[in-house]
Structure formats: structure tokens, C-alpha cells
Structure 1
Amino acid sequence: MIRKPVVAGQFYPGTKNELEEMIDYCVQHKYGPGNQTQKDEEIYGIICPHAGYVYSGPTACHSYKAISSKNPELVIILGPNHFGVGKDVATMTNAQWETPLGLVEVDSEAAQKIANESEYIEIDEFSHSKDHSLEVQIPMLQSMLSNKFKILPIILRDQSLEMAKDVGNAVAQIAKSKNTMIVASSDFTHYEENSFAHSQDKSLIEPILEMNVEKFYNVLIEKRVTACGYGAIGSVLIACKKLGATKGELLSYSTSGDVMGDTSSVVGYGAIKFI
């Protein structure tokens, strides 16, 4: 089956030329990475925002620029299920995801393996039918990676710590078997005043950089930080740690208010790599 794009023309441009231009604009934007050269280091995974490109694209490009020379065969993308449809945690098989930049194949063998490995991950296309959290990452990957790669999409309706541990361990098992990049798709604080969003997110990013998943969940709950993909972040943090990462590094942080100028009600975006 072909998983057709559901937010092309909304979250990002619907035609190839406009989409390529938009990604280039995001890279060169004052909140984007520009032409900076990348360090030669092992990167186990990244965190990227998933809002409309005009808001979060410049920040997202920092993470993608960091992995642009890594040539992964497989990209495992985890994100939250905003619509709550389908299973608690789902991947899919025998599918290609379509974007204006072409088709990307799902690694069916890896999907089958991870469903067997995890107590919670099920194979279910319907869970993936409406959401943008994984879809918006794919054109960025197509644009920034020079090689052909497959994806393993994992969408989380249940984002509990227990679930993140199970999913994170299963992701690490799959990642060991081939050259893999792991992506957590999440925005940070939602619809708060700009300076408050900055301080909330600073508190939450700290345990991410320390790779302390329990502390991350504690801060999330105590401060009521409205990061939507916290389960994806938790899972990726656990997987990267298991694979050998020792710390996270904040590449860029901005809010929609910083980018667009309206600071009364903003959404926070962070780009982080695990090394």
C-alpha cells in the first residue's frame, strides 16, 4: 500500500519545487543551521519538532544537518498519535510513504521484528492514517540524506514511562543490526506565553541532555510541561543510551513566537542530538 500524505500543502508545500525551496529557506533562516560543517562523530539519534515548516522547520534542520553525512540504511521515526486512533503503539508493513519528493519504503522485516521484540508494538496501518508527527519528518530526511534509506514508523498513543522503556529497548535491538538513525518527533511547550515556554522547556531539556528518563518524566509531570511527543522522546533516549550514547546536545531551541513575532501564545521547538 501507499501511505498518501495527509498534510502536504498545509504543514509543508505540496509540490516538489516549492518543498525543496522551503527546506532551503529553513536551512538558511536566521534560526536555521546555515552552512555550518558537521563534526565527524557518532550520532545515535535526534529529536526534531513536527509543526508547520514555517514555524519549526529552521530548528528541525539543525538535527537533520547534523546527520546529513551519516547515510543510514534505516531511519526509525517515533512520534505521538495526536488523533488517538488505532493501537497503543503501532508500526506498519508492506507500505511506502509518499511525499512530494517521492516514495520511501517501510522496512517490513524490521517492523515485523520489532513487533515480535516489543510487548506493545502492533502492526496497524490505521493508527498511521491521520497523523502528521511522522509524515513531516520524511521530506526533511529525503532532502538532507544523500543515500536511499528505508523507514520504520512507530506511532505512540500510550506514552507512559513503562511503554517508553519497552519501545526504547526494542528500538535499540533493531538499531544494532544495521546502520540506523533514530528520530523522536516532538514539539515542546504548547500555547503559553513566550518567556514561560522558554523556562518550561529549559527545565525539560536538562534531563534529556543528561539522558535521565526518570527525571525527564518527573519534570514533565511536576511542571506540567505540554510537550506532545514525550513518549517518543523517552523511548529514543532509552534506545540511544542502550546503544552507547552518553549525552544529549542541544543544537537549537526556538519558539513560534521567536520565529513569527507573536509572543502571546507560542509552541516550543528543540533540536537535540544524542552522542
Structure 2
Amino acid sequence: MTRPAAVAGTFYPADPVELATLIDAMLDAAPPAQTPATAASADAPVAYVVPHAGYQYSGPTAAHVYRDLRDRPAPFERAVVLGPAHHVPLRGAAVSSATAWASPLGEIAIDTDGVQLLADRGLAVVDDRPHAPEHSIEVQVPLLLRVQLPKLLPVLIGPGDPEAVAALLDAVAGPGTVVLCSTDLSHYLTEEEARRRDAATAAAIDDLAPERIGTGDACGRHGLRGLLVWGRRHALRVDRLALATSADTGGPRDRVVGYPAMRLSSTRS
């Protein structure tokens, strides 16, 4: 079964040429990370926090993450993407039964072995209902394909114990795998309020402090808290690649959404 794209033509262009051109332009415009992802050994854990709004608004911020991935001489083979469920109520974690997800740039293969492992261990349920309308993971798919990352393990995360998310990541992270936590930050504050709140959230991520991520700080806070527990467990360090808002890309200044681009890895200069 192939999951059809739900938000092509709204969150990102549906035309493949337009979409590829847009992504390449965003990646080329993003500066190389001052501390390249190649600094970490090939077997060391690497994860990113990346936004998931429409490309018009959050694309330039997300491009910092994908430029980092594109610049790696040894590309990853699989992405584990954690995202929130905006439309269907969910507790715990849900994976997809599909064998591929469609996009205007072609299909991305789903890591069905990873899906089965998580289900068998009771770390996630197989449930397509929250995945069907959801954009938080889907918007990452064209970007993943454009940086030659061919396989996806999509995991939607609802309210639950951050330790359970960390255990899930321990089960599937490893050599050849990158973890992406798909989340925006504050929503619909004034620009001044958003920058102040997002700065505090970014500082919590810097410090691997999940207890400082509160309701309203990030729409993907449940996955983010679990990622930070996992990062702390593995003594990862955080590099801040970008921190922006929708106002930076033409959105209204009285209803702002915050966008993070951050890397967690075992090495930092």
C-alpha cells in the first residue's frame, strides 16, 4: 500500500519541477553549518529538530537541516521522523502500515522492518488513521528525497511518557539512521512574544532539558521531550543551525509561528 500525499499543492508545490527547483534553491541559499555533521563518527547518533509548516514560511529554516544532510560525504540510509498528530487524537506512538509514501518527486520507501519491530515490542501501534491527513511528517518527504535519503520510518507521537519515546529511539536509531523531530515552536503570538518564548524553548533544547518544554512551546512537544531524554541519555550536544519565525518570510507579525533548526550529535567543536 502506498500512502497518497495529503498536502501537495498546499504546504508545498504539487508540480515536481517546481518543487525540485524550490527545494534546490532553498538548500543552496542555506549556509553550510559551521560545525559540519561529518564531525561525528559514522556510527555516532545524529538527530535534528526541523519545522514542518508550509515551505513558503518554514522552508528556509528547514533548509539548514537538509543542507547539513546534503553535505555529508556518507549519506544516511534511513530517516526516523517523529511528528505530532494535528488532526486525529493519539496517545503514545503510531506507525504506518504503508510500504511507501507518495510525493510529487516520487515515492519514498517505508522501513517496514522498523515498523514491525516497534509494533512487536509494544513501542508503537500500527494505525493509519492519524497518518492519513497529517502534514508534520509528509512535508519532510520531498526534502528527504532531494538529499538522496531513500527510506523513511514515520512515527506520530501523542501525549505520553518521554521515556517511552526515548526507548523507541533506542530501538531504531543506529548506524546509517538519522532521527528528525518535526516540530514548530510557539503559535500565533506577536513577533516579540514569539521570539522571547522561542528563545527559552531553544535554550531548553540546547540544555537537553525536556522538563522545560511546556504546553504551547512546541506543537511537537511530546516527540521533542522524548528526543531530549534520548539525547541526554547518549550525552549528545546541540548545535543551533537556525531559529526563525513566519514573520521572517512574509507572514503577519501579530500571528507568528516559530521555526527551529537544530542538530544533536556526539561531537561539537
State TM-score, norm by structure 2: 0.89
Change (3 A) 1:90 1:189: same
Choose the corresponding residue for 2:188, options 185, 188, 191.
191
Deviation at 1:85, TM superposition (A): 4.4
> Which residue of 2 is the match for residue 142 of structure 1?
145
Q: Does the 8 Å CA contact 1:255/1:267 hold for their aligned counterparts?
A: yes
Q: What are the within-5 Å matches in structure 2 for residues 124-135 of structure 1?
A: 124-135=127-138
Q: C-alpha root-mean-square deviation of aligned residues, in Å?
A: 2.1
Secondary structure at 2:107 match in 1: strand
Structure 2 letter corresponding to 1:193: T
Q: Does the 8 Å CA contact 2:49/2:183 hold for their aligned counterparts?
A: yes
Q: Does the 8 Å CA contact 1:86/1:126 hold for their aligned counterparts?
A: no
Deviation at 1:48, TM superposition (A): 0.5
Deviations 1:72-129 (A, max 9, x none): 222100100000246642002342001011111111111111123344x101122211
Looking at secondary structure, tell me which structure has more helix per residue: 1
> Which residue of 2 is the match for residue 212 of structure 1?
209
C-alpha distance in 1 between matches for 2:170 and 2:61: 26
> Which residue of 2 is the match for residue 8 of structure 1?
8
Fraction of identical pairs, as percent: 31
> Which residue of 1 is the match for residue 46 of structure 2?
44
**1:240 and 2:253 correspond:** no
Q: Does the 8 Å CA contact 1:194/1:265 hold for their aligned counterparts?
A: yes
Q: Does the 8 Å CA contact 2:186/2:197 hold for their aligned counterparts?
A: yes
Q: What are the within-5 Å matches in structure 2 for residues 2-151 of structure 1?
A: 2-29=2-29, 32-33=30-31, 38-42=36-40, 44-68=46-70, 69=72, 70-85=74-89, 88-119=92-123, 121-145=124-148, 149-151=150-152
C-alpha distance in 2 between matches for 1:135 and 1:204: 24
Structure 2 unmatched runs, 5+ = none
Structure 2 letter corresponding to 1:248: V
Q: Does the 8 Å CA contact 2:86/2:134 hold for their aligned counterparts?
A: yes
Structure 1 unmatched runs, 5+ = none
Change (3 A) 1:118 1:273: farther
C-alpha distance in 2 between matches for 1:144 and 1:56: 18
State TM-score, norm by structure 1: 0.87
Deviation at 1:246, TM superposition (A): 2.4
C-alpha distance in 1 between matches for 2:33 and 2:46: 22
> Which residue of 2 is the match for residue 165 of structure 1?
163
Deviation at 1:39, TM superposition (A): 5.0
Aligned residue pairs, count: 259
